[in-house]
Amino acid sequence: QSALTQPPSASGSPGQSVTISCTGTSSDVGLYNFVSWYQQYPGKAPKLMIYDVTKRPSGVPDRFSGSKSGNTASLIVSGLQAEDEADYYCSSFAGGNTIVFGGGTKLTVL
């Protein structure tokens, strides 16, 4: 069970769009449509932003969206705002009732 691969950092200017990738394998991301994305501020618990690849929980701005192609899932943040500066993590169901996380991406709003 290997961790999912995320870029360590990403950045964009206010109003721009940023895409964060999450690459797994044909045993996790590629096999199941159960990928979630979390936003985490320092010292806080992760907050669910996207689940089941594309779904948004109530209260999450529609600027946040998700997609998947093959073994790679993506989080797209449109219309970047200063408050979006945070760490973002992906997770995937990996079969056998196990879960695997990505290493995290630090999003900087320039």
Partner 1 sequence: QVQLQESGPGLLRPSETLSLICDVSGYSIGTAYQWSWIRQSPGRGLEWIGSVYRNTLIYYNPSLKSRVTISADASKNQFSLNLRYVTAADTAVYFCARTEWNPDFWGQGILVTVTS
Which residues are at the interface with partner 1 (CB under 8 A)?
1, 3, 32, 34-36, 44-48, 51-52, 57, 89, 91-93, 96-104
- The nearer residue to partner 1, 3 or 110, going by C-beta atoms, is 3
Nearest distance in Å: CB 55, partner 1: 11
In the complex, minimum distance from the CB of residue 67 to partner 1, in angstroms, rounded to a whole number: 16
Nearer to partner 1, 1 or 17 (CB): 1
- Smallest gap, in angstroms, from Cβ of residue 41 to partner 1? 12
Give long-range contacts, CB 8 A cutoff, 24+ apart: 95-101.
95/27, 95/28, 95/31, 95/32, 98/1, 100/1, 100/2, 100/3, 100/4, 100/24, 100/28, 101/3, 101/4
Angle at 39 between CA 90 and CA 43, to 5 degrees: 120
Q: Which is nearer to partner 1, 35 or 77 (CB)?
A: 35
